[in-house]
C-alpha cells in the first residue's frame, strides 16, 4: 500500500534537495560564467516520455536550462528495454557521451528507466561505463534531485534501484513537451505477463490511480491550456478493477469528458482480452474521445496467442473488430504485431496475414520478436531462425502496406479538424498537425496556429499522412 503521509514527507524531502541542488547549480554557473544546460532523452514508449517530462521538470526547477543537444551539463537517458535494439542504442550512444564528458568535466551523465531495472545492465554499467554518474530505475524518478546531490557530495557513481513501487510522488514540477497536449498516467505497471514481454518485470504490478487524482490533474492541465490528453497505461481497460471503490475505464472516460477546456481524449493501450461494449458505447456517445483505437494483435494465430498468454483467440479478436466497426464505423484501427515468436509456423504466420487483411488496419507497428532474458518465451524451444523471420517480416510489411494504403486514403477530399502541433520540419510555410484518428496533416500555415484546432480540407493522401489546406483559404 502506498502511504499518503509518507508521500507528503517524501515530497518535502525532494523539495529540500531541489533547493540544495539549485544552490550548487547557481554556484557552478557563476564559476563557469554561463547558464547550465540539461538534456533528457526518451528511448521508450509514451509512459517513458511522460516520465521524461517529470525529470525535465525537476531539472528546470533546479536551475538548468533545457537543451536539445547532448553537449550539456547534465544528460539523462530515460531508457527502454522492450526489445534488444532499444538496449543496444543506449550502449552505442553512451560511447559518444564519454567523448563529450572529456570536453566538459562538469558534465553529469544519468541513466534511468526500464533498462536499469535489470541487474545485469547495472553490473555492466558499473564495470564498463564507470564515467556514468547516476543510475536509477522506474520506481524512483522523483528522487532525481536527491541522487544528483549525493553524486556531487560523494564524488562517486550513485546507484539507486528499487524493486517495486514503494511510493509515488506526483506533486513535483513537470515540464510538458507540448503546451497544448499531455499524457496522463491512469495506471502504472502490468499484470498480464505476456510470455515475450519484459514490461511487467521492470514496471511492476498493475496499480490504478484514484479517479479524483486523475480528474484533478486533467482539470489543472485544462486550466493551463491543454486541449488534448492521452490516458496512459499498459492495459487501460483493466483500469480501476482493484481500487477500493472500483471504477471502470469507461466510467472514468465519462467523467473526463465533462472537463471544460479538454477537446480531445486519447488512450493507450487497451488489451483485446479486456475490451468491452461499455467502452464502445461511451466512445460512440462522446464528442471528445478520438476516433482511433490502437488494438494490439501480436499474432493472428490462436495457437501462438495461447503461447504468448494473450488470453484471446483469433476469432475473438476479429469479433471485436466487427463490433468496433459496427458501433464506430469511421474509426481508425491500428495495431502491434510480433513476427518470429518461438514456434511460429508458416501456418501461424498466414493467420496473422489473414487478420491484417480482415481487420483492415490503418497502420501497424511491426516488430521482430526479440528474446528478453527472464521472460518465459526466452527459454522456449523452437526459436525461429533469423532468415525465416526476416522473410516473414518483409511479407508482413507488404501486406500491411497494401491494406493501409487503401484504407488511409478514405478521407481524401473530406474536411476535418486538425490540432496544429508544429511548424513543418521539411517545408517552410507549412504546419503539421494531427487529425482525430492520429494521422498527420501538413498544410500551409503559420506559427500562431500551433496549439489551435483548425478546419482543414484533406487534399491528398500520401500513405501515412495527408496534405491539406485550411478551409478559410477557400
- Grid cell listed for 62: 533546479
Secondary structure E strands in 287-329 = 292-294
- Cα angle for residues 390, 392, 397 (degrees, 5° grid): 95
Is 55 an interacting residue with respect to ligand SF4 (CB under 6 A)? no
Q: Which does 338 bind (CB under 5 to 8 A by kind): ligand F3S, ligand SAH, ligand SF4, none?
A: ligand SAH
CA distances from 133 to 25, 51, 54, 76, 120 (A): 16, 19, 19, 10, 18
Residue ranges with strand state E in 169-298? 181-185, 187-188, 207-208, 228-232, 264-268, 292-294
Torsion of CA 290, 296, 91, 175, to 10 degrees: 20
Kindly state whether residue 296 participates in binding ligand SAH, applying the rule CB under 6 A.
yes
Binding site for ligand F3S (CB under 6 A): 44-45, 47-48, 80-82, 114, 199, 202-203
Q: Mention every residue, 6+ apart, whose C-beta is less than 8 A from residue 386.
A: none
Instruction: Quote the least distance from Cβ 112 to ligand SAH, whole Å.
Output: 18
Contact of residue 369 among ligand SAH, ligand SF4, ligand F3S, none (CB under 5-8 Å per partner type)? ligand SAH
- Kindly tell me which of 338 and 454 has the beta carbon lying closer to ligand F3S: 338
The reply to whether 304 sits near ligand SAH by the rule CB under 6 A is no
Contact status: 226 vs ligand SF4 (CB under 6 A): no
Q: Is the dihedral of CA 14, 19, 25, 27 positive or negative?
A: negative
**DSSP structure string for 110-131:** EEEEGGGGSHHHHHHHHHH-TT
Name the binder of 200 from ligand F3S, ligand SAH, ligand SF4, none, CB < 5-8 A by kind: ligand SF4
The option from ligand SAH, ligand SF4, ligand F3S, none interacting with 47 (CB < 5 to 8 A, set by class) reads ligand F3S
299 touching ligand SAH, by CB under 6 A: no
* Residue 222 Ramachandran class (φ > 0 left, ψ -120 to 50 alpha, else beta): alpha
190 lies in the site for ligand SF4, by CB under 6 A: yes
Under the binding rule (CB under 6 A), the answer on residue 334 touching ligand SAH is no
Task: Give yes or no for a contact between 405 and 434, defined as CB atoms under 8 angstroms apart.
Answer: no
Nearer Cβ to ligand SAH, position 221 or 377? Answer: 377
The contact pattern for ligand SF4, residues 193-212, with x = CB under 6 A and - = no contact, is xx--x-xx------------
Q: Binding ligand SAH by CB under 6 A: which of 369, 393, 443, 466?
A: 369
How far apart are CB 97 and ligand SAH at their closest, in Å? Answer: 26
Calculate ∠ Cα 407-410-412, nearest 5°: 135
Minimum CB distance to ligand SAH smaller for 83 or for 442: 83
Pick the stretch among 136-144, 243-251, 282-290, 363-371 that binds ligand SAH (CB under 6 A).
363-371
Size of the site for ligand SF4 (CB under 6 A): 10
Q: Report the length, in residues, of the chain.
A: 474
**Among residues 143, 209, 264, 271, the one that binds ligand SF4 under rule CB under 6 A:** 271
The CB density around residue 428, as the number of other CB atoms within 10 Å, is: 6
290 is a contact residue toward ligand SAH (CB under 6 A):
no
Say whether the peptide bond before residue 269 is cis (omega within 30 degrees of 0). Answer: yes
Residues within the interface to ligand SF4 (CB under 6 A): 190, 192-194, 197, 199-200, 234-235, 271
Amino acid at each position: 500500500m502506498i502511504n499518503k503521509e509518507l508521500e507528503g514527507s517524501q515530497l518535502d524531502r525532494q523539495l529540500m534537495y531541489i533547493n540544495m541542488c539549485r544552490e550548487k547549480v547557481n554556484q557552478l554557473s557563476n564559476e563557469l560564467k554561463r547558464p547550465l544546460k540539461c538534456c533528457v532523452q526518451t528511448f521508450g514508449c509514451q509512459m517513458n516520455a511522460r516520465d521524461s517530462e517529470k525529470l525535465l521538470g525537476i531539472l528546470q526547477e533546479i536551475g538548468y536550462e533545457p537543451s536539445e543537444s547532448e553537449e550539456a551539463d547534465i544528460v539523462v537517458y530515460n531508457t527502454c528495454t522492450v526489445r534488444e535494439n532499444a538496449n543496444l542504442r543506449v550502449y552505442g550512444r553512451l560511447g559518444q557521451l564519454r567523448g563529450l564528458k572529456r570536453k566538459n568535466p562538469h558534465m553529469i551523465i544519468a541513466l534511468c528507466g526500464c533498462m536499469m531495472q535489470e541487474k545485469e545492465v547495472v553490473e555492466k554499467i558499473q564495470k564498463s561505463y564507470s564515467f556514468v554518474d547516476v543510475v536509477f530505475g522506474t520506481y524512483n524518478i522523483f528522487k532525481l534531485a536527491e541522487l544528483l546531490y549525493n553524486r556531487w557530495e560523494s564524488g562517486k557513481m550513485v546507484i539507486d534501484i528499487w524493486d517495486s513501487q514503494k511510493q509515488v510522488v506526483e506533486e513535483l514540477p513537470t515540464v510538458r513537451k507540448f503546451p497544448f497536449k499531455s499524457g496522463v498516467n491512469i495506471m502504472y505497471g502490468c499484470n498480464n505477463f505476456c510470455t515475450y514481454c519484459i514490461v511487467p518485470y521492470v514496471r511492476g504490478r498493475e496499480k490504478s490511480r484514484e479517479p479524483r487524482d486523475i480528474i484533478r490533474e486533467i482539470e489543472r492541465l485544462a486550466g493551463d491550456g491543454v486541449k488534448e490528453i492521452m490516458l496512459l497505461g499498459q492495459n487501460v481497460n483493466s483500469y480501476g478493477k482493484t481500487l477500493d471503490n472500483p471504477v471502470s475505464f469507461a466510467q472514468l472516460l465519462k467523467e473526463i469528458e465533462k472537463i471544460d477546456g479538454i477537446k480531445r481524449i486519447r488512450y493507450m493501450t487497451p488489451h483485446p482480452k479486456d475490451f468491452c461494449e461499455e467502452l464502445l458505447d461511451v466512445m460512440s456517445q462522446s464528442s471528445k474521445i478520438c476516433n482511433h483505437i490502437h488494438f494490439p494483435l501480436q499474432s493472428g494465430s490462436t495457437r501462438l496467442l495461447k503461447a504468448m498468454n494473450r488470453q484471446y483467440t483469433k476469432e475473438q479478436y476479429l469479433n471485436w473488430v466487427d463490433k468496433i466497426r459496427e458501433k464506430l464505423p469511421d474509426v481508425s484501427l491500428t495495431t502491434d504485431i510480433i513476427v518470429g515468436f518461438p514456434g511460429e509456423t508458416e501456418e501461424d504466420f498466414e493467420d496473422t496475414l489473414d487478420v491484417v487483411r480482415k481487420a483492415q488496419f490503418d497502420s501497424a507497428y511491426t516488430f521482430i520478436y526479440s528474446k528478453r532474458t527472464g521472460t518465459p518465451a526466452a527459454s522456449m524451444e523452437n526459436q525461429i531462425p533469423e532468415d525465416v523471420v526476416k522473410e516473414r517480416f518483409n511479407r508482413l510489411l507488404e501486406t500491411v502496406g497494401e491494406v493501409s494504403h487503401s484504407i488511409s486514403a478514405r478521407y481524401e477530399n473530406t474536411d476535418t479538424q486538425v490540432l496544429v502541433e508544429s511548424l513543418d520540419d521539411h517545408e517552410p510555410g507549412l504546419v503539421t498537425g494531427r487529425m482525430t484518428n492520429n494521422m498527420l496533416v501538413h498544410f500551409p500555415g503559420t506559427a500562431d496556429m500551433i496549439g489551435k484546432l483548425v478546419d482543414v480540407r484533406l487534399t491528398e493522401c500520401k500513405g501515412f499522412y495527408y496534405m491539406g489546406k485550411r478551409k478559410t483559404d477557400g
